[in-house]
Amino acid sequence: MLEPGTLLLDRFRIDRLIGVGGMGLVYRAIDTSAERRVAVKILNEVALLAPAMVSRFHREAKLLKKLRHPHVIEVIEVGQIDDGSPFYVMELLEGRDLRQELRARGTIPIDEAAGYAIQAAQALSAVHRAGIVHRDLKPQNLFVTELTGARRIKLLDFGISKTNEEGEATLTATSGVLGTPYYMSPEQILAAQEVDARSDIWSLGVILYTILTGRLPFTRGSVAAVIAAIPSDPPDPFTNDDSHIPPRARELLLHCLEKDPARRFATADAVAVA
């Protein structure tokens, strides 16, 4: 735990704890050099005992620090406290993620959903150009924040992403489950190490289907049944409750959810245009 007033890197003054996760803690802090509020993410004591977790944390910080895009979370600085615990400083986002939006509202109107999808696709395009496949795209990792009076998507959490530069064996050791089953593409389920950018396009299609219909495209009685259905079964058909989704939007969703990656949109830019 970091006490309020703790100064990191002679610049970032801890204000208060604002979030606790399985791997780390998030604090609100003040960047004294710019007089702005920021967030500080630091590993907890349990994660520090697991070398794979520490490695995952470092690589996430490294990836985010080199990415600069209005729809990707910005990492400002990376460091470690006196006991060696790593941390990174990122922009402070105010709002809630798409999962929270969906829980509060049930579904999201198509114009608003399309705006979110375009922004998420633009973020993915930048990520893919940098040689990165996110591999864990889900509503929790798309944060809706209000900047300059407009609602804006920010892409988060690159902890299990795949890059073109690193060995897959090291990456696989950082996480027992490479992805969140409900949003995983068929190829990610069958061979997680072999996926490319088109796997993220599948996941974006699942998200868009979910926020428009209020349900997942593969509804089964258990996680194991969902994992079995994704590579083999067609998405659940649209119902009378989906009458607000026009035919072209349905076509877009199903194009994202093609089993064969070669039949999906080839790029995130193409999704944004569609």
Q: What confidence tens digit (pLDDT) does each residue in 247-267 have?
A: 999 999 999 999 999 999 999
Instruction: Quote the pLDDT of residue 91.
Output: 92
Neighbouring C-alpha atoms within 13 Å toward the C-beta of 269? 5
Crossing angle for the helix pair 197-213 and 247-256, nearest 10 degrees?
A: 140
Residue type, 152: R
The model's pLDDT over 204-235, given as tens digits with 9 standing for 90+, comes to 999 999 999 999 999 888 999 999 999 999 99
Instruction: Quote the pLDDT of residue 178.
Output: 58
Catalytic residue check, 136? yes
Higher pLDDT: 70 or 146? It is 70
Q: Choosing from 136, 157, 233, 242, which is the catalytic residue?
A: 136
Q: What's the CA dihedral at 24, 27, 33, 36 to 10 degrees?
A: 130
Residues 69-88 have a mean pLDDT of 88
Q: Does position 184 have pLDDT exceeding 90, yes or no? A: yes
Residues 96-121 have a mean pLDDT of 93
Higher pLDDT: 184 or 163? It is 184
Instruction: Quote the pLDDT of residue 179.
Output: 65
pTM greater than 0.85 (yes/no) = yes
How would residue 172 be classed by pLDDT, with cut points 50, 70 and 90?
very low
Average pLDDT, the chain: 88
Distance CA 189, CA 16 (A): 39
Q: Does position 51 have pLDDT exceeding 70, yes or no? A: yes
